Chains A and B, each alone.
Chain A
Amino acid sequence: MNVKGAKEESIQTQLERSRAVRANIKKLYIYFVLALIVIIFSVAKLGQVEMFGRGHFLSPDSIINLLRTAVPILTLSGAFTLLMISGYIDLSVGSAMSLSAVVFALMILNGFPFLPALVITLILGIAMGALNGLLVMKLRITPVIATLVTLSLFKGIALLIVPDGLSAIKGSAEKVMPPWINDYARKNVLLGMPWAFFVALAVIAILVIVQRKTILGKYAAAMGGNRTAAELSGINVVKMGWLLYIIVGFFAVLAGVARASYMSLGDPLSGDGMELDNIIAVLLGGTAFSGGEGSVAKTIIGALIIMCVTTGLMTVIPAYWQTVAKGSVLLFAVVLNHLLIREKVKA
């Protein structure tokens, strides 16, 4: 038995070593992808523009613009990741974002100061998240269907708030939109970046910490990884899931406010497609759809990748290529995610 035992041991250590190698690939691939994208767009127009000069992908103006436009997804995708880690999904985030943009713009247009308007909108976000939580966790409706229902609901309410004849809540001759609405998401505060950007950075930092170092992050992973084991250990899965949906609603609203501020209006369709962008970011970041594992930090990188692709493409190809590009990126992300997860299963 000794010989057999020794052989078993060495096979074990061999297995564990190859697992480690694969684990490293899993950790680093995403930085390669980001670098690749950046390089591609940087060299794309080198014939026409100077490196780092005007119009170049890596020119200061362009980078600032990209980051400012990326604020909503940077604000939201961390929370979205946390929800996916727990094994659940929220397709209504785009509509929640639109609704909050509309509500926020409406209040600003009608004289509310920034902070009260923000706070009220955030409360709305909590309510929206709570509704999703109710449908999914308590009433146990399939998350996809439940959040498609709320998607429709939120979008509908946003459209109804905007008066007939207008496409968005915006300033007009009679009622002017206070120009300071722009301050939050556009006005230069530091290095050319606005408040909204730093808020987004803070949100990212907070959520990275939450995911790695707090009990919320751990329980989300436990729920998604093995719900039975989580319940047996005393975790109240229903309460946890509900809380996660509320958190997603909260940050969706924060993203919506940033968008409204950036555009100086509340557009009820401004959030359309946000859920897809989030899904792409999450897939690229290697989060499994069944839950249990994932990384906020990697999702953020994924979000940067999708933003680079979106803005970069606009400089290289006409606008009407956007959709097919996004669809291809999504399918590419699906394949990438599939390969990563398969590696996991094999290991």
Chain B
Amino acid sequence: MKLTGNVLEIRDLVKDFPSVRAVNNVSFDIKRNTVHCLVGENGAGKSTLIKILTGAYARSSGKILLNGEEYSPHSPKNAKEKGISTLFQELNVVDQLTVAENLTLGMEDTTFGFLRKTDKINKMVSVMNSLEPSISPRQLVSTLSVAKKQIVEIAKAVATESDIIIMDEPTAAISESEIARLFKIVKGLREKNVTVIYISHRLDEIFELGDYVTVMRDGKHIDTKPVSEIQDRSELIRMMIGKTVFEVYTPKKDRSQETILQVRNLSNHKLNGISFEVKKGEIVGFYGLVGAGKTELARAIYGADDYEGEILFKGEKLHPSPHKVIEAGIALVPEERRSQGLFTILTIRGNVPVMNMGKISRNGFINSSQERKVTLEYIEKLRIATSSTEKEVIKLSGGNQQKVVFSKCLFADADLLMLDEPTRGIDVGAKSEIYGIIRRLSEEGKSILIFSSELPEIMNICDSIYLLYDGNLKAALQNGYDIDSEKIIHIVTGGE
């Protein structure tokens, strides 16, 4: 029996963090048995909203009604019990078990502990079969491709009668034919009394799959419309970026002609034949959305991941190891500052000199006063908000933590800095400080590579902009007064 009405109603939802209001009085409805898309740029508030729905975050205020009843999950497990399942990019299947075992995990029928084959299992297997018959229930999940693992998760959610399945960028890691199959399944879910909340940056998917779309921007709800009422991509893009006034970019006066970095035909599991050049003192931006390959590119150049192809830095071949790359004069501010960029249990002083210990030591012995001096220097230079060099980094705010990472990399005396999402999760004040630092470095002759999914950031300071989509370099632009932000979004969302 097909039910109608709203499966989810969100009213005046607010989520505050210490330095930012991530979700700002958002209200909209999701109709039952539809595919409801959620779009918006990074920082728009989508992921925070989803985290509230899945019980990972608690809301600050506002109401959510699921099937007409108050919905306040206190944990992801709780959310699942209440009827909202989520497909994350980190798959929640147990590789070492079979498909059938994964489907029934946590819901087995037993007699004295013995697993019984009951109708419940058959029902689940038939749900699985109706979605994708080529998956055998007796297969080990480890033998399945990522796309098929996703389908297993979907089957489990459907079979456990979830009202809503949230899919977060599900197509980021699967091939085109697999995408087609996924779409067929998603569309079919509407007949099974399941509503899908579909998050994706690939606007074509919205048009192909979606019944409704909600656009968010800067934490606010912009609009919710039936997809059929949207004329074309441009309208959607305009809703996404609105009247954002990009700080006017000032082209540089003298541009060096000296090439410092040459990347030729860089390829690996994610990247396809990327080639480009960087001049001395240039600020180059790599813009793309989730899954475009930005981090993979940064890590490949840095030597943190394997690749095929050639990279020349200052005319010499770059060896694929972070140690050698740093020695050659390149430093990376990694994407995840807490797990990759910082030693969180150590102090600021413990973090800053790490990439260039030679400068604060002699014959292997650390000069403590030099160490303190350097730490102090960077605290002042970058205006890190702390009262002591001995503050544990974990106690700093996101912005200040990022400044510590910057200090680390600056201290490495690199000639080329790679910044992966340098201002993610950082408040506006710290952001502009960081932009100032970047501009200053460029003036000093350093080259900067910025990998970011925030368009204003890219437009603000980059001299050249490269657009990435699905591991490919799609376009190269010179920044200037007449840059067309709509065209940019068009390309990074899959357009040509």
Min CB gap B293→A, angstroms: 19
New A-B contacts (16) at CB < 8 Å, excluding given A4-B177, A221-B96: A9-B177, A12-B145, A218-B101, A218-B108, A221-B94, A221-B97, A225-B96, A226-B94, A229-B93, A231-B77, A232-B92, A233-B105, A234-B81, A292-B94, A344-B142, A347-B142
Q: Name, among A4, A232, A235, the residue most crowded by chain B CB atoms within 10 Å (CB to CB).
A: A232
Q: Which of A4, A5, A232 contacts B76 (CB 8 A)?
A: A232
B-contact bits for A4-16, CB 8 A (1 contact / 0 none): 1100110010001
Inter-chain CA distance A303–B97, complex, in Å, is 25
Contact A229 B105 (CB under 8 A): yes
Q: How far is the CB of B73 from chain A (nearest CB, A)?
A: 12
Interface-centre pick from A1, A213, A233 (highest chain B CB count, 10 A)? A233
10 contacts between A and B (CB under 8 A): A218-B108, A221-B97, A222-B97, A222-B105, A225-B95, A229-B92, A229-B105, A234-B106, A235-B106, A292-B94
Bound together, the chains give a CA A231 to CA B80 distance in angstroms of 11
Contacts of A8 in B (CB 8 A): 175, 177
Residue-wise, chain B 94-118 has the 8 Å CB interface mask toward A (1 for contact) of 1111000100011110100111000
A290-304 interface bits toward B, Cβ cutoff 8 Å, 1 = contact, 0 = none: 001100000000000
**A interface residues, how many (CB within 8 angstroms):** 31
Residues in A neighbouring B110, C-beta threshold 8 A: 214-215
Check B92 against A218 for contact (C-beta < 8 Å): no
Q: What residues on B are CB-neighbors of A293 within 8 Å?
A: 96
Is B176 interfacial (CB-CB < 8 Å)?
A: yes
User: How distant is the Cα of A216 from the Cα of B113 in the complex, in angstroms?
Assistant: 7
Q: Restricting to B103-149, which residues have a CB under 8 Å from any CB of A?
A: 105-108, 110, 113-115, 142-143, 145
Q: B176, A1: Cβ atoms under 8 Å?
A: yes
Q: Does A228 have its Cβ within 8 Å of any Cβ on chain B?
A: yes
A73–B113 CA distance with the chains assembled, in angstroms: 26
Q: From A222, which residue of chain B is reached at the shortest CB distance?
A: B94
Known: A226-B94, A233-B105. A19 touches B177 (CB 8 A): no
A-B pairs, 3 with minimum CB distance: A233-B106, A234-B106, A225-B94
Bound form: Cα–Cα A12–B178 in Å: 12
A225 touches B97 (CB 8 A): yes
How big is the B interface, by class? 20 to 34
**Interface of A (DSSP majority class):** helix
Within A197-242, which residues are at the interface with B (CB < 8 Å)?
210, 213-216, 218, 221-222, 224-226, 228-235
Q: Which of A61-104 contact B (CB under 8 A)?
A: none
User: Would B175 and A230 count as touching, CB distance under 8 A?
Assistant: no
CB neighbours (8 Å) of B97 from chain A are: 218, 221-222, 225
Whether A292 lies near B115 (C-beta < 8 A) is no
- Distance in Å: Cβ of A82 to nearest Cβ of chain B: 13
Chain B residues closer than 8 Å to A224, beta-carbon distance = 96
> Which of B92, B96, B114 gathers the greatest number of chain A CB atoms within 10 Å?
B96
- What residues of chain B lie closer than 8 Å to A226, measured between beta carbons? 92-95
Contacts of A210 in B (CB 8 A): 113
Contact partners of A222 in chain B: CB under 8 A: 94, 97, 105
- Chain A nearest CB: distance from B151 CB in Å? 14
Residues on B with beta carbons closer than 8 Å to the beta carbon of A235: 105-106
Please report which residues of chain A, range 1-32, place their CB below 8 angstroms from some CB of chain B when the two chains form the complex. 1, 4-5, 8-9, 12, 16, 19
**Across the interface, which residues of B come within 8 angstroms of A215, CB to CB?**
108, 110, 113-115
CB distance from A254 to the nearest CB of B (A): 20
A interface list, Cβ under 8 A from B: 1, 4-5, 8-9, 12, 16, 19, 210, 213-216, 218, 221-222, 224-226, 228-235, 292-293, 344, 347
Complex-state Cα separation, A234 to B81, whole angstroms: 9
Q: How far is the CB of A344 from chain B (nearest CB, A)?
A: 7
| Cα(A329)–Cα(B105), bound, Å | 37
Q: Is the CB of B96 within 8 A of A4?
A: no
What residues of chain B have their CB less than 8 Å away from a CB belonging to chain A? 76-77, 80-81, 92-97, 101, 105-108, 110, 113-115, 142-143, 145, 175-177
A22 to chain B, nearest CB (A): 10
Which residues of the other chain, B, contact A4 by a CB distance below 8 angstroms? 176-177
In the assembled complex, the CB of B448 is this many whole angstroms from the nearest CB of chain A, namely: 37
Given A229-B92, A230-B94, are A213 and B114 also a contact pair (CB < 8 Å)?
yes
Residues of chain A lying within 8 A (CB to CB) of residue B80: 232
Bound Cα distance from A229 to B77, whole angstroms: 10
Complex CA–CA separation, A70 to B306 (angstroms): 48
The answer for the CA separation of A125 and B110 in the assembled complex, in Å, is 27
Distance, CA A16 to CA B148, complexed state (A): 13
Q: Are B177 and A214 in contact (CB under 8 A)?
A: no
For B113, give the chain A residue with the smallest CB separation: A214
In the docked arrangement, what's the CA distance between A231 and B75, Å? 11
For A228, list chain B residues within 8 Å (CB): 92
Query: In the assembled complex, how far is the CB of residue B471 from the closest CB belonging to chain A, in whole angstroms?
Result: 15
Q: Give, as a whole number of angstroms, the nearest-CB distance from A311 to chain B.
A: 34
Identify which of B77, B92, B94, B143 contacts A234 (C-beta below 8 A). B77
CB proximity of B196 to chain A, nearest CB, Å: 19
Nearest A residue to B143, CB-CB: A19
A1 to B179: give the CA distance in the assembly, Å: 12
CB distance from B81 to the nearest CB of A (A): 8
Chain B: which residue is nearest A223 at the CB level?
B94
Tell me, rounded to whole Å, the shortest Cβ–Cβ distance linking A324 to chain B: 35
Asked if B177 contacts A5 (CB within 8 A), the reply is: yes
Minimal beta-carbon separation of B261 from chain A (angstroms): 33
CB-nearest residue of chain B to A292:
B96
What is the distance, in angstroms, from A96's C-beta to the closest C-beta of chain B? 24
Q: How far is the CA of A230 from the CA of B94 in the complex (A)?
A: 8
List the B side residues contacting A19 at CB < 8 Å.
143
Q: How far is the CA of A344 from the CA of B143 in the complex (A)?
A: 10
Could you tell me if A218 and B115 are in contact, using CB atoms closer than 8 angstroms?
yes
Report the minimum CB–CB distance from A215 to chain B (whole Å). Answer: 5
Complexed CA–CA distance, A12 and B134 (Å): 12
By the criterion CB–CB under 8 Å, are A214 and B114 in contact?
A: yes
In this complex, the member of A1, A4, A19, A218 whose beta carbon has the largest number of chain B beta carbons within 10 angstroms is A218
Question: A317 vs B217: C-alpha distance in the bound complex, in angstroms?
Answer: 78
* Residue numbers in A under 8 Å from B107 (CB-CB): 233-234
Residues on A with beta carbons closer than 8 Å to the beta carbon of B113? 210, 214-216
Q: How far is the CA of A79 from the CA of B427 in the complex (A)?
A: 53
- Roughly how many angstroms separate A19 CA and B144 CA in the complex, as a whole number? 11
On whether the beta carbons of B94 and A229 are closer than 8 Å, the reply is yes
Task: Specify the chain A residue showing the minimal Cβ separation from B145.
Answer: A12
Inter-chain contacts of A1 with B (CB < 8 A): 176-177
Known: A1-B177, A8-B175, A19-B143. Contact between A232 and B77, CB under 8 A? yes
B115 CB → nearest A CB, Å? 6
Indicate whether A347 sits within 8 Å of B143 (C-beta atoms), given known contacts A229-B94, A229-B105, A235-B106: yes
Q: How far is the CB of B187 from chain A (nearest CB, A)?
A: 18
- The residues of A that contact B81 with a CB separation of less than 8 Å are 234
User: Across the interface, which residues of A come within 8 angstroms of B176, CB to CB?
Assistant: 1, 4-5
CB closest residue in chain A, given B90: A228
- Report B-chain residues with C-beta under 8 Å of the C-beta of A229: 92-94, 105
Cα of A71 to Cα of B80 in the assembled complex, Å: 46
Complex CA gap A229/B106 in Å reads 10
Contact between chains at A16 and B142 (CB < 8 Å): no
Q: Which residue of A lies closest to B102 (CB)?
A: A229
> Most chain-B CB neighbours within 10 Å: which of A19, A213, A224, A225?
A225
Q: Which residues of A contact B94 (CB under 8 A)?
A: 221-222, 225-226, 229-230, 292
CB contact under 8 A between A214 and B115, given known A8-B177, A221-B94, A222-B97: yes
CB distance from B264 to the nearest CB of A (A): 26
Which of the residues A216, A230, A344 comes within 8 Å of B105, measured between beta carbons? A230
